[in-house]
Structures are given as structure tokens and as C-alpha cells.
A = this chain, B = another copy of it.
């Protein structure tokens, strides 16, 4: 690598690379850790932790379309108490900065979870998955109105000993209000987008395909949607943006970095190719060298000039 990929995420951390692994697609299983140990990953986000344990949604939980998947895992996890007790056991061997993703059913639950997370030392940030798991699973955020959204971000920022990243669902990105509200209420960074609410039918059986009826769409097909959102939101906030949605190769990563992301995050394609980060970085390297670009700020400027 010719480039210094150190990525400053404001007061969160200086990451070794701008590539993050998204919530729900990073895990601590041995098989996975074997595969990623040599990857230059900037940070990893835990699966979203809730206050109480959740057993997740009925099978099937994953549908695959031509270039997307729809999932309804249902935030299966053992709850924050179990998470904190086992944190050292599960995470001490992870060679990357850890961001803890959390989700609550209401404003007060977020604060309770944060207080529990405060007992830990090593995470670099807490990511708020503000997608109302009980209204709709993964990423279906419509129920949370702007006011309670802002209050949640504010309370979490106040209480948390770690910097806060606010993760936006696509429907919180249709204009810039949610992003601006998160910024005003103390978030240190913004990440977007979560999965797009979606539904798949088993036509032959005239029934929903997923055990949970509805789910969230992710993967390559959502990239143009996510990209537009990062592009718009970049213009209206100053906090760093972690861009994600369908990243599957270095061009996707560059696109997000061009339109305004400070770091990018890989979700679905990390399930398929845990060795993607280094492949992406190597190709970014070639690209920047060829274009005689020295850092991502310069890349952003070049793109801005072409607007």
C-alpha cells in the first residue's frame, strides 16, 4: 500500500483504514475471525444489542434476489447484560476498534443500555440503531418521530462515556432533517443507510416468503439509493459520515467517499467475502495512484468540481 489510510472519525478514533464492518454482519465466531485476521479493517460494529434478550424472527430469515437480499433476523441477541458480562471473553481477541450497536424500544431504554455499556472500557463508540425493533424489525424507522429521535440522541450523548454514532434508516434520510437533528443533539458521527423496508412473496404458495412477513433489503441494488442520501446529507452536516449500502467492490467504496463519506461500511458483502476490505484497499490504491490523488479530501474535491 502506498497510501496512509488513517481515517479520523472526529473524537471517536483514528482508524487504520476507512473500511468498517457493519452491524449485523460482523461476528465473533472463530470461523469468521480466522478469515479476517489479516484484513486492514478500520473498525467493526457489533450486532445490535437490546436491553432484554431477543430470540429473533421465525425462519426463513433471508431471501436472496438477483443483486440484493432481504433479511428479517429480528435482532437476535442475548441482551445487554449478557453482552457486557461476556464482552472480554468475546471481544478481547478482536484486533480492530469496536463500535457497539444498540437499540431500544423507547427513549429510556436507550439510556439504560448506554449506562450498562459504560461499564466497559474498550469500545471506541456506541452506534444508535434508531429503527424501532418492536414496530418493525431491522431498519424500519418510520415510527420514530423527529422529536423523540432528537431527544434520544441527546440523552445518549449526555449519558454515554463513549462517542455516539447515529445510524439512520433510509426513511430518516429522505431529507436532511434527521441528520441535522442528530448533529444538533450531540452525535459525533452519522452512519447511513440501514436496510430498506421490503417484502417478498412466495407467489406459488400465496404467502409471504419471510417468516416475519417483512424485512429489510440490502446489497448491491440499494447502492444508488444510499449514495444519493449520503450526497444530500453531506451538504448539510459537518460531523463525519459513515456511508454504506451495497458496497461490493472498490468502485462502490470510492463512490461513497467521493460524495461525502469519511469512512465506508460493508454489510451484506461481508457475509459473502470477509476478505473484501484488503481487496478494496488494494484497488483504491491503484486508482488513486493512477489519478495522482493523494488523499480522500482531494478525491472529494475532484468530484465536487464535476458536479
Partner-B contacts on A (CB < 8 A): 65-68, 70, 142-143, 171, 174-175, 196-201, 203, 205-208, 213-214, 217, 220-221, 224-225, 227-228, 231, 251, 254-255, 258-259, 287, 291, 299, 302-303, 306-307
Contact = CB atoms under 8 A, between A and B. Distances in A.
A198 B203 CA distance: 28
Given A207-B306, A302-B206, A201 B258 contact: yes
A255 B171 contact: no
12 contacts: A65-B221, A66-B66, A67-B67, A68-B224, A171-B174, A199-B224, A200-B224, A201-B254, A207-B307, A214-B228, A217-B224, A217-B225
Contacts of A142: 174-175
A258 B68 CA distance: 23
A199 B175 contact: no
A203 B299 CA distance: 11
A225 B214 CA distance: 10
Contacts of A66: 66-67, 220-221
A219 to B, nearest CB: 10
A213 B304 CA distance: 11
A214 B231 CA distance: 10
Contacts of A258: 201, 203, 206
A303 B299 CA distance: 51
A254 B306 contact: no
Nearest to A217: B224
Contact of A224 (B70, B175, B205, B213): B70
A198 B220 CA distance: 13
Nearest to A68: B221
Given A203-B258, A206-B299, 14 more contacts: A68-B221, A196-B225, A198-B227, A198-B228, A199-B224, A199-B259, A200-B227, A203-B255, A206-B291, A206-B306, A207-B306, A208-B306, A208-B307, A213-B307
